[in-house]
Amino acid sequence: MTESAIGIPIPVPAAPKVSPRGGRLLGAFIPRFVTGITILLAWEIVVRAFAPAYVAKPSTVVLAIPRVIVDPAFLTATRITLTAVAEGLSIALVFGTAIGLLMGRSPAVERAIRHYVNGFYAVPMIVVLPLFSLWFGYSGATRIATVIFAAIFSIIVNVADGARSVPRDYLEVARAFRAGRLSVLAEIVLPASMPYLLAGFRLAAGRALIGAVVAEFFISSGGLGYFILYNSRVYHHNEAFVGVLLLAAFGVGFELLVAWCTRRFLPWYRREERN
């Protein structure tokens, strides 16, 4: 930055020539590795210098990992949270897709519910927690409900966008062949909205994970969120942080999975964006 301000060009942008893939990956690897080490070192040093002993730092978190991942309490918590996220996401996916398709293809439905879908989508999802706990009690049902609420609107919004943008020609051909309404929805509109569905699912998965963790903080029973809450309350920050790492892995895993699905199954979509 400072060098460039006095006119000396920065040497880096010469790198991306038409190099083979391996060369480019190697070129990215070194700065990434150095940055990673720098972040970990900075964290370690700052915590050692300024924070009390219980605060999580890389060296002690690493030591905690083998201990935590065989801890039955941790495994149960993981299973509970993952099951709830999977259930909630599936429900949100089925109903969200159905509502989204209807909304995208029927102007009447669109006009009737658009403002509510957009409105609920804009509501910070966690405000409904006290209400849901009033309705469903301090139980797993509140968690599922929160996950569904967190996830469904991003799916509806995206699927509706997708259904709206189906090329006219497809629909006209279907009509010319006298296809029924339902089969047009299922066989033309749905596949054509797939990229939007995946984009919505990607958002929904992230929000579902947040919803599950927040609900577990709130209802204080079971799950990874509660595992983290409990362990940090009793000053086992290292153990609690392993839970955070696992959540991060899920978050990143969802992102990568959706990216991979888009590349693998929808190669026709947004080809120009892959550079």
Q: Which parts of this chain interact with other proteins (CB under 8 A)? A: 1, 4-5, 7, 9-10, 12-13, 15-16, 27-28, 31-32, 34-36, 39, 51, 55-56, 111-116, 118-131, 133-135, 206, 209-210, 213-214, 217-218, 224-225, 228-229, 232-233, 235, 237, 240-241, 243-244, 247-248, 251-252, 254-255, 275
Distances (CA, A) of 159 to 5, 19, 44, 111, 272: 46, 38, 45, 16, 22
Tokens of 90: 């599936």
Taking the complex as a whole, how short is the minimal distance between the CB of residue 95 and other proteins, in angstroms?
18
Taking the complex as a whole, how short is the minimal distance between the CB of residue 187 and other proteins, in angstroms?
30
Taking the complex as a whole, how short is the minimal distance between the CB of residue 193 and other proteins, in angstroms?
21
Taking the complex as a whole, how short is the minimal distance between the CB of residue 100 and other proteins, in angstroms?
17
Sign of CA dihedral 200, 201, 202, 205: positive
Taking the complex as a whole, how short is the minimal distance between the CB of residue 123 and other proteins, in angstroms?
4
Cβ distance to other proteins smaller for residue 33 or 94: 33
Cβ distance to other proteins smaller for residue 115 or 168: 115
Taking the complex as a whole, how short is the minimal distance between the CB of residue 115 and other proteins, in angstroms?
6
Cβ distance to other proteins smaller for residue 103 or 190: 103
* Cα(251)–Cα(255) distance, integer angstroms: 7
* Cα(200)–Cα(100) distance, integer angstroms: 11
Cβ distance to other proteins smaller for residue 1 or 182: 1
Cβ distance to other proteins smaller for residue 190 or 242: 242
Cβ distance to other proteins smaller for residue 56 or 188: 56
Taking the complex as a whole, how short is the minimal distance between the CB of residue 6 and other proteins, in angstroms?
9
Cβ distance to other proteins smaller for residue 144 or 228: 228
CB within 8 A of 78, min separation 6: which ones? 224, 246
Taking the complex as a whole, how short is the minimal distance between the CB of residue 192 and other proteins, in angstroms?
24
Cβ distance to other proteins smaller for residue 25 or 186: 25
**Dihedral (C-alpha) 68, 74, 78, 84: value to the nearest 10 degrees?**
-160
Give phi and psi for 223, each to the nearest 5: 85, 165
